[in-house]
């Protein structure tokens, strides 16, 4: 196989995050600590993962970052927007994910990352009070113009050769898509008419794509998964991906459900409940914002289990997801799952999971990987939806009409085979018959 043309990862790569809260600041601090050499980027496939090339007997398993031409941590520059004017150090202290001694060690660099004024509307995120860094009352067009200027200024100031934007902002309230999202033409008319159905995150996406900047969406709101923005990504030849970082309880779900299904064990009920006390939990305490999350979380099991193919095992599955805001826990989430399964002759069994996780510790490496892989996709000339990155998302974006693959092991195979394919290596089918042929 021949490799496709991929431009080299030379120069600086800027990461822009709308949202400089717990996830974004944990990401910045972790990368800064890793490149200063006093932390390991644990949880990052691009930094720690290996990829097998050729036959098992070839013993050829390079690190992914040595195999594919990814930007290195040293090449990254950070910027972002937030409706609060705290710099990244103050925001990280407030988020309370990393201990002060870890933040202090990279304090100078964190303090230099100050938020640009956010395109923000309390209509879309109602639980944030006393914001002091927003483009108050700007029209949609003025907001886009300001974002485009911010992007250009950041690019010049930080001397970046390329940029990637990753939405790390609060989850926006759930709104059905309307006509304004149905085509780029309708969307652009809606921008001029200040259509109230256009969400702030969609304005960031519009500004990014028209500036040639790939966009990945870490939250469950509709952002790049709307026809108008997909069309824009095609027109501008820029990659997009989404949505909703796959961490915590959904990560566990997509690890366990495929396992139960491979053994043809039935599932009657899956009850998931969480407590968390960070700002994300506070925002999700609003039913409208939780609705966005619920839609994204519920679809996962349905797709993995395929009840239409396995009605005896999964047709009657009762799936419920709850998130409860409980301030004493901060970012230390606790997620309980009760899974009612059944086996041979229908005999019932139960599985209980109690996952004491740290949400942002799980999410930060995903921001890093998405940054590096979206940049790789752009340099490889890829545009539009990057389904091969579904590994990172609760609700992977696909071509219209195509069901998403949620099984994390299939997602990983897809990601690695994409890299092998782009780099001109044979894809691995796991057939393995060559080891037994005479």
Ligand X SMILES: NC(=O)c1ccc[n+]([C@@H]2O[C@H](COP(=O)([O-])OP(=O)(O)OC[C@H]3O[C@@H](n4cnc5c(N)ncnc54)[C@H](O)[C@@H]3O)[C@@H](O)[C@H]2O)c1
Strands 116-117 and 318-325: unpaired
Class of residue 12 by CB neighbours under 10 A (exposed 0-12, middle 13-18, buried 19+)? middle
With contact defined as beta carbons under 8 Å apart, do 123 and 173 qualify? yes
Give the binding range for ligand X (CB under 6 A) out of 38-46, 60-68, 356-364, 418-426: 356-364
Class of residue 129 by CB neighbours under 10 A (exposed 0-12, middle 13-18, buried 19+)? exposed
Residue 74 token pair = 């040293």
Residues in 81-100 at the binding interface with ligand X, rule: CB under 6 A: 81-84, 95
Residues in 281-320 at the binding interface with ligand X, rule: CB under 6 A: 283
* Secondary structure of residue 224 in the 3-state scheme: coil
Please tell me whether residue 239 binds ligand X under the rule CB under 6 A. no
Angle, helix 200-210 to helix 227-236, in steps of 10 degrees: 10
The nearest distance, CB 434 to ligand X, in angstroms, is: 41
Class of residue 246 by CB neighbours under 10 A (exposed 0-12, middle 13-18, buried 19+)? buried
Please tell me whether residue 362 binds ligand X under the rule CB under 6 A. yes
Q: Which residue of 117, 190, 248, 277 would you call a contact of ligand X, by CB under 6 A?
A: 248
Residue 301 token pair = 């099991």
Measured between alpha carbons, how far is 427 from 420 in angstroms, rounded to an integer?
Answer: 6
Q: Which residue of 32, 103, 125, 377 would you call a contact of ligand X, by CB under 6 A?
A: 125
Q: Nearest Cα to 222, choosing from 395, 2, 10, 410?
A: 395
Residue 117 token pair = 């004024």
Give the binding range for ligand X (CB under 6 A) out of 80-88, 150-158, 299-307, 419-427: 80-88
Host H or E run for residue 314: helix 311-314
Give the binding range for ligand X (CB under 6 A) out of 4-12, 48-56, 272-280, 403-411: 272-280
The nearest distance, CB 366 to ligand X, in angstroms, is: 8
Residues in 391-420 at the binding interface with ligand X, rule: CB under 6 A: none
Please tell me whether residue 21 binds ligand X under the rule CB under 6 A. yes
* Secondary structure of residue 19 in the 3-state scheme: coil
| Alpha carbons within 13 A on the beta-carbon side of 426 | 10
Q: Which residue of 53, 106, 128, 147 would you call a contact of ligand X, by CB under 6 A?
A: 128
Q: Which is nearer to ligand X, 77 or 90 (CB)?
A: 90
Q: Which is nearer to ligand X, 75 or 249 (CB)?
A: 249
Q: Which residue of 30, 117, 190, 200 would you call a contact of ligand X, by CB under 6 A?
A: 200
Q: Which is nearer to ligand X, 209 or 363 (CB)?
A: 363
The nearest distance, CB 416 to ligand X, in angstroms, is: 23
Residue 10 token pair = 């030379």
Please tell me whether residue 280 binds ligand X under the rule CB under 6 A. yes
The nearest distance, CB 408 to ligand X, in angstroms, is: 15
Residues that bind ligand X (CB under 6 A): 18-24, 81-84, 95, 118-120, 125, 128, 168-171, 200, 218-219, 244-245, 247-248, 278-280, 283, 359-360, 362-363
């Amino acid at each position: 196989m021949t490799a496709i043309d991929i431009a080299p990862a030379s120069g600086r790569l800027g990461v822009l995050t709308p949202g400089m809260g717990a996830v974004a600041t944990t990401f910045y601090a972790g990368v800064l600590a890793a490149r200063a050499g006093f932390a390991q980027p644990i949880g990052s496939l691009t930094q720690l993962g290996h990829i097998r090339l050729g036959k098992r007997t070839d013993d050829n398993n390079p690190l992914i970052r040595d195999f594919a031409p990814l930007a290195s941590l040293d090449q990254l520059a950070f910027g972002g927007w937030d409706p609060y004017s705290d710099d990244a150090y103050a925001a990280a202290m407030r988020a309370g994910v990393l201990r002060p001694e870890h933040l202090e060690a990279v304090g100078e660099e964190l303090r230099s990352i100050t938020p640009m004024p956010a395109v923000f509307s309390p209509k879309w995120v109602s639980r944030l009070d006393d914001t002091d860094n927003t483009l108050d009352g700007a029209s949609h067009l003025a907001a886009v113009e300001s974002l485009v200027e911010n992007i250009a200024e950041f690019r010049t100031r930080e001397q970046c050769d390329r940029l990637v934007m990753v939405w790390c902002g609060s989850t926006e309230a759930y709104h059905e898509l309307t006509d304004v999202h149905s085509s780029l033409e309708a969307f652009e008319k809606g921008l001029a008419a200040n259509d109230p159905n256009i969400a702030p995150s969609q304005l960031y996406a519009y500004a990014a794509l028209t500036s040639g900047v790939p966009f990945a969406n870490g939250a469950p709101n509709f952002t790049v998964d709307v026809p108008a923005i997909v069309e824009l990504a095609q027109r501008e030849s820029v990659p997009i991906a989404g949505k909703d970082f796959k961490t915590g309880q959904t990560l566990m779900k997509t690890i366990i459900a495929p396992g139960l299904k491979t053994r043809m064990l039935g599932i009657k009920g899956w009850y998931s409940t969480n407590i968390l006390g960070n700002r994300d939990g506070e925002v999700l305490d609003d039913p409208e914002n939780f609705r966005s999350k619920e839609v994204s979380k519920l679809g996962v099991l349905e797709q993995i289990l395929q009840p239409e193919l396995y009605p005896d095992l999964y047709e009657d599955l009762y799936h419920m997801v709850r998130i409860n805001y409980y301030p004493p826990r901060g970012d230390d989430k606790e997620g309980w799952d009760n899974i009612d399964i059944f086996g041979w002759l229908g005999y019932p069994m139960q599985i209980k999971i109690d996952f004491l996780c740290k949400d942002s510790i799980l999410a930060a490496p995903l921001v890093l990987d998405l940054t590096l892989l979206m940049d790789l996709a752009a340099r490889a000339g890829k545009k539009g939806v990057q389904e091969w990155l579904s590994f990172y998302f609760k609700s992977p974006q696909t071509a219209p009409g195509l069901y998403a693959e949620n099984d994390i092991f299939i997602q990983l195979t897809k990601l690695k085979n994409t890299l092998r394919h782009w780099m001109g290596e044979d894809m691995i089918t796991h057939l393995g018959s060559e080891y037994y042929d005479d």
